[in-house]
Chains A and B, each alone.
Chain A
Amino acid sequence: MSAPLSLSDTSEEESATRGVRISSAASPARRRALAEALAAWTLAGPAVFFLLVLFFLPVLGVFVIALTDWQFGARSLSFIGLANFRQVFADAVFRASLLNTVVYVLIVVPGTVILALLIALLIESGKSCRSFYRAVHFLPFMATLTAMAIAWEALLHPTIGLVNQALAGLGLPTANWLRDENTALPVLAVIGIWQNLGYAMVLFLAGLKGIPQDLYDAADVDGADLWLDRLRTVTLPMLGPVSMFVVIVVALRAFESFDTVKVLTQGGPGHASEVLLYTLYRESFEYLRTGYGAAVAVVFLAIVVTLTLVQVRFMDRKVHYQ
């Protein structure tokens, strides 16, 4: 397991270019270098063009639009500075959305990470049926969430749903899960845990495989021969960096949840299950409040980029334990 984002191979190439510079203008080496650069830019050209047009101009665009009062379709616009951001943060609905998103993430992340770690440890603790258990737990991660949300709605149906039937059968109180403002968001979070569990589990399984066997042998010599001792002295400490990584990856996915909200609650009841991405979608594309929507997008981007940078920093520093 190594950091996916690392720039390591710069110096060798720089010195190569410098070497070329020194040689005389007409030398074959220089001509070859020019030909190589030309070939490289030709090969990379389409990708560069599309990266600029489809990623970097749009990001710039979002920032610019966020500073205007533009509404989609309007012929004129004027720059209004940070007024959109002031409006966004003064808006009770946006504040509710931000708070809901944080609550959602704070349920999904620990729920997913702890359950995934337990399941991964259990799977790795024996030899039989490993790939079967892995497949079963991974299934929700790749199943179409829109379709599975519809299945969840049937499960959670107030009268004919399996959940309420089972609860009633056990003599427990039932609820109209998706229409009650106290339960809508936690229930969506449970679906989030259900969906991301397998992903986190696979990351933990990879982390477990990366723990060198000698550490277990050393622990054995030191008298840690119970499974629990080995878990405490070797496995969990060695999983530290992976766990940090899993926490951030799952948090990013939780911040970006949209499908279940759109299909199941539309942010309701009231605004009890409104989350950031849903607010972004509704303001931008249903209400066509373009400037306001762009400001929400900027806030969302700031959160996601901050989390990612924390992850990259952490990966660069800590993950190279082998």
Chain B
Amino acid sequence: MSATTSTSRLSPPAAILRHAVLLATGALILVPFVWMASLSVKPPGEIFRASFSFWPAQFYGVENYTKAMTEVPLPRYMGNGLVVCVLILGVQILVCAPCAYALAKLHFLGRDLLFGLVLVGLLLPHQVLSLPLFILGYQLGILNTYAALVFPYVVSPFGIFLFRQFFKTIPDDVVHAARLDGLSEIAIVWKIMVPMALPAVVAFSIFSVVSHWNDLFWPLIAVRDQSLMPPPLGIMAFKNEEAGNDYGPLMAASTLVVLPLLIAFLAAQKWFVEGLTGGAVK
């Protein structure tokens, strides 16, 4: 089933050239990661002596990583990121799946209008909404709390859209059979549709968690307390405190922030690629 650009096999020189170029571009892509990891295990003296060597003469990893974990509340930042991502994802699925089911399988007046709303929501860049959302958060008195980090994202137009597309591929007979078995509509959503749409749920979960773990814009607006900062905001605060004097611990902290998603990505590459580009490729 693999339709490829070339039907015939590459000649040996061409194959070698292919590997050479891809290895070179790949190496260039990885330079920032490698440099970050390298500085994170070097002592200050070696960092400022400026050498090409990847591995330090004196291994300083323990000191740097300990400093990154203790001098700033990095574990707290990571915990905040986890709490916020899990809360957002949970609420998004809870809100989006039933709506997607109604759009995909039920007939009702206003369905096209509702789907139109979802599509318009899909094209609105979230940053444009930040000012009114900030005012809303202020009026509700929830700025500078976890709620402030979560509330703009409780509904995801992309989630509704993705689930609807997937639910539509499930045969109507499945729904009819479930109704004959006496399942209520809401039970059909959670007991039939969502389990059958597991690939869409996984893809959406990856999309949601990656977006919100990495987001800097909204947390910058929504919270001020260090104890509430998610990783990107926390690490930016760390950098501003350090003012570039203590590279080792700063690089250790950056490495730790990037690491969870990196490991997850390497473990489930195919799912990540699908989840993060699904909106475009589906």
Contact = CB atoms under 8 A, between A and B. Distances in A.
A275 B30 CA distance: 27
B21 to A, nearest CB: 6
A151 B261 contact: no
B123 A305 contact: yes
B3 A213 contact: yes
A209 B26 CA distance: 22
Contacts of B276: 141-142, 199
A135 B258 CA distance: 15
A316 interface: no
Contact of B152 (A54, A127, A227): A54
A314 interface: no
A198 B154 CA distance: 29
Contacts of A301: 124-125, 128
A55 B124 contact: yes
Given A54-B133, A151-B35, A245 B185 contact: no
Contacts of A300: 125, 127-128
Contacts of A258: 127, 216-217
Q: Is the interface of A mostly helix, strand, loop or mixed?
A: helix
A59 to B, nearest CB: 6
Q: How extensive is the interface on chain A, given as a class?
A: 35 or more
B185 A58 contact: no
Contacts of B198: none
Interface stretch (B6-14, B59-67, B82-90): B6-14
Nearest to A155: B35
B254 A51 contact: no
Contacts of B99: 43-44, 46-48
B204 interface: no
A225 B111 contact: no
Q: Is the interface of B mostly helix, strand, loop or mixed?
A: helix
A58 B32 contact: no
A50 to B, nearest CB: 4
Interface in A137-186: 137-148, 150-155, 157, 159-160, 162, 165-166
Nearest to B213: A144
B132 interface: yes
A313 B136 CA distance: 34
Contact of A43 (B98, B123, B221): B98
A151 B33 contact: yes
A213 B4 CA distance: 8
B155 A54 contact: yes
A16 B107 contact: yes
B5 A144 contact: no
A139 B124 contact: no
A72 interface: yes
A125 interface: yes
Contacts of A308: 123
A263 B239 CA distance: 9
Interface string A56-90: 11110110010000001000000000000000000
Contact of A137 (B29, B114, B189): B29
B112 A160 contact: no
Contacts of B149: none
Interface of B: 2-10, 14-15, 18-19, 21-22, 25-26, 29-33, 35-36, 39, 47-48, 50, 52, 94-96, 98-99, 101-103, 106-112, 114-125, 127-136, 151-152, 154-155, 157, 160-161, 168, 185-186, 189, 210, 213-214, 216-217, 220-221, 231-233, 235-236, 239, 244, 247, 250-251, 253-255, 257-258, 261-262, 265-266, 269-270, 272-273, 276-277, 279-282
Given A148-B33, A262-B216, A284-B131, 7 more contacts: A4-B161, A133-B22, A141-B276, A151-B36, A249-B280, A263-B239, A300-B125
14 contacts: A4-B279, A10-B112, A39-B106, A44-B103, A50-B155, A51-B155, A146-B236, A150-B239, A199-B277, A202-B281, A211-B5, A256-B127, A284-B134, A301-B125
Across the A-B interface, give the 9 residue pairs with the lowest CB-CB distance, nearest first. Answer: A47-B99, A61-B132, A58-B132, A146-B232, A151-B36, A50-B155, A37-B108, A43-B98, A147-B254
Interface of A: 1-2, 4-5, 7, 9-10, 13, 16-17, 33, 36-37, 39-44, 46-48, 50-51, 53-59, 61-62, 65, 72, 115, 119, 121-129, 131, 133-148, 150-155, 157, 159-160, 162, 165-166, 194, 197-199, 202-203, 206, 208-213, 216-217, 220, 225, 227, 230-231, 235, 245, 249, 252, 256, 258-259, 262-263, 277, 280-281, 284-285, 290, 293-294, 297-298, 300-301, 304-305, 308-309, 312
